[in-house]
Amino acid sequence: MKLLRLAPEQTNFGFMRFRRVSYPFSALMSLVAVATFLLIGMNFGIDFAGGTLMELRAKSGTADIAALRTKADGLGLGDVEVQGFGNNTDVTLRLRLQPGGDAAQQVAVDKVKVALGDVYEYRRVEVVGPRVSGELVQSGTLGVVVSIIAVLTYLWFRFEWQFAIGAVIGTMHDLLLTVGFFCVTQLEFNTTSIAAILTIVGYSLNETVVVLDRIREMMKKYKRISIAEMIDMSINAVLPRTIMTATTVFLALLALVLFGGHVIRSFSLAMMWGIFVATYSSIFICSPILIYLGVRNEGGETAPSASSAAAKTPA
C-alpha cells in the first residue's frame, strides 16, 4: 500500500532565490504590526482591561450557556464572556469595564439580573479594577519574555552563533507578527492569548531547530557546494515533514475554531496564524540569514558545475 505524501518525492525547489523578496516583505509586515499596535492597540479582555465577574448557579436543571450568551449580547454591554465551570449548573459571566466608574458597573450588573430573572442564584459578583489588570499585564509580559530568553539561551549553546542569531530573528519575527495579528483583527487578548503566544514560540523554535539541524548535518556531508544550495537541499529534505506537521496541526485548530466555542476562539485563530508564520519564517527568514552572516562549508564554497567538469575532461 502506497503511503500518502503531501509533498512530491525528491523535491528540488529553490527557496533561497526568494530571499531578496522575503526580507523586504517581512520588514513591511513588521512595520505594519508596530504601527497598528501603536495606533490601534490590542482589544484587551476583562483579565487585562478590568470589568465585572459574576458567578451564577441554576436553581433548577442545568445552565443554558447558549441562552445566557444570547441574552447577555443583547444588553449592549460589549463583549460578554459566558463560560461553564464545575458541574453543569454553574456558569460565569465576565462583563467589560463600563465607562462611568463604579456606578456604571453596578448598572451593568443590574441589567444582567433583570434580563436573567430569578432562574439563577448569584453566588459572587466581583469587580476587577484597572490596577489588578495592570499587574496581570506585567506578569503575562514577564512570563513571555523570560520563556523566550530561556529557550533562546539554549539555542545559543546548542548551535553555532550564526544559527542562534537566525533562530532569534525568526522567533522575534513570529512574535511581532502575532501581536500585529491581534491588533489588526481586534481579537480579544486575554490570558488564553498568552498561552497561544507561548505555544507559537515553541512551535516556531521547533520548526527552526529541525531546519537548522538538517543544514548542519548536510554541511558535514557535502562540502563542495554553495551554502545557498546547501540550505535549499536541507529544506527540501524536511519539506514533507514540515507540510505534514503544519497540516495536521492546522486541521486540529480548524476543528477548535468551528466547534470549540467563543471561549477559545481567540486562542485557536491566533494559533492558526502562528502555524503559518512559524513555517514561513523557518524557511524564508531564519535560513537565509546564514548566507548573510557568512557561513561557509569547510571544503569550499562552490562545486564545479557539470558543464565545466565536462569541458575539463580529455577527449
- Residues 104 and 229 placed together within one structural domain of the fold: no
DSSP 8-state symbol, 7: S
- DSSP string computed for 233-296: HHHHHHHHHHHHHHHHHHHHHHHHHHHS-STTHHHHHHHHHHHHHHHHHHHHTTTTHHHHTT--
Q: What pLDDT, on a 0 to 100 scale, did the predictor assign at position 310?
A: 33
- Residues 121 and 69 placed together within one structural domain of the fold: yes
- Residues 96 and 157 placed together within one structural domain of the fold: no
Give a yes or no: residue 9 inside a domain. no
Q: Identify the domain boundary among 83, 109, 128.
A: 128
Q: What pLDDT, on a 0 to 100 scale, did the predictor assign at position 300?
A: 43
Q: Give the confidence band of 302 by pLDDT, cuts at 50, 70, 90.
A: very low
CB atoms within 10 A of CB 146: 10
Residue that wins the pLDDT comparison between 67 and 28: 28
- Residues 108 and 141 placed together within one structural domain of the fold: no
The whole-angstrom separation of Cα 209 and Cα 100 is 51
Q: Phi then psi for 64, rounded to 5 degrees?
A: -90, 95
- Residues 105 and 184 placed together within one structural domain of the fold: no
Give a yes or no: residue 307 inside a domain. no
Q: Which domain holds residue 272?
A: 15-42+133-292
Q: Report the candidate in 59, 127, 118 with the shortest Cα–Cα distance to residue 93.
A: 127
Q: Give the whole-number percent of the chain exceeding pLDDT 90.
A: 13
pLDDT digits (tens, 9 = 90+) for 272-291: 999 999 999 988 988 888 88
User: Is the pLDDT at 314 greater than 50, yes or no?
Assistant: no
Q: Give the confidence band of 305 by pLDDT, cuts at 50, 70, 90.
A: very low
**All cell numbers assigned to 100:** 462611568
- Residues 35 and 183 placed together within one structural domain of the fold: yes
- Residues 117 and 24 placed together within one structural domain of the fold: no
User: Total structural domains in the chain?
Assistant: 2
pLDDT digits (tens, 9 = 90+) for 168-195: 888 889 989 999 999 998 888 877 888 8
- Residues 117 and 185 placed together within one structural domain of the fold: no
Mean pLDDT over each residue of the chain, to the nearest integer: 79
- Residues 153 and 257 placed together within one structural domain of the fold: yes
The CATH number of the domain where 95 resides is what? 3.30.70.3400
The CATH number of the domain where 250 resides is what? 1.20.1640.10
The continuous run of DSSP H or E covering 167 comes out as helix 161-185
Q: Identify the domain boundary among 128, 159, 183.
A: 128
Q: Give the whole-number percent of the chain exceeding pLDDT 70.
A: 85
Give a yes or no: residue 311 inside a domain. no
Query: What are the contacts of 236-245 at 24+ separation with CB within 8 A?
Result: 236/11, 236/12, 236/13, 236/15, 238/210, 238/211, 238/214, 239/7, 239/11, 239/13, 240/5, 240/6, 240/7, 241/210, 242/207, 242/210, 242/211, 242/279, 242/282, 242/283, 243/6, 243/7, 244/6, 245/207
Highest mean pLDDT among 149-158, 240-249, 300-309: 240-249
The continuous run of DSSP H or E covering 99 comes out as none
pLDDT digits (tens, 9 = 90+) for 262-277: 677 888 899 999 999 9
pLDDT digits (tens, 9 = 90+) for 42-67: 887 777 777 787 888 887 777 778 88
Q: What pLDDT, on a 0 to 100 scale, did the predictor assign at position 303?
A: 39
User: Is the pLDDT at 3 greater than 60, yes or no?
Assistant: no
Give a yes or no: residue 178 inside a domain. yes
User: Is the pLDDT at 39 greater than 80, yes or no?
Assistant: yes
pLDDT digits (tens, 9 = 90+) for 132-155: 556 766 776 787 778 778 777 777
Q: What pLDDT, on a 0 to 100 scale, did the predictor assign at position 131?
A: 54
Q: Give the confidence band of 312 by pLDDT, cuts at 50, 70, 90.
A: very low
- Residues 204 and 141 placed together within one structural domain of the fold: yes
The whole-angstrom separation of Cα 269 and Cα 185 is 10
- Residues 211 and 93 placed together within one structural domain of the fold: no
User: Is the pLDDT at 20 greater than 60, yes or no?
Assistant: yes
- DSSP string computed for 30-77: HHHHHHHHHHT--EE-HHHH-EEEEEEEESSS---HHHHHHHHHTTTS
- Residues 123 and 143 placed together within one structural domain of the fold: no
Q: What pLDDT, on a 0 to 100 scale, did the predictor assign at position 9?
A: 65
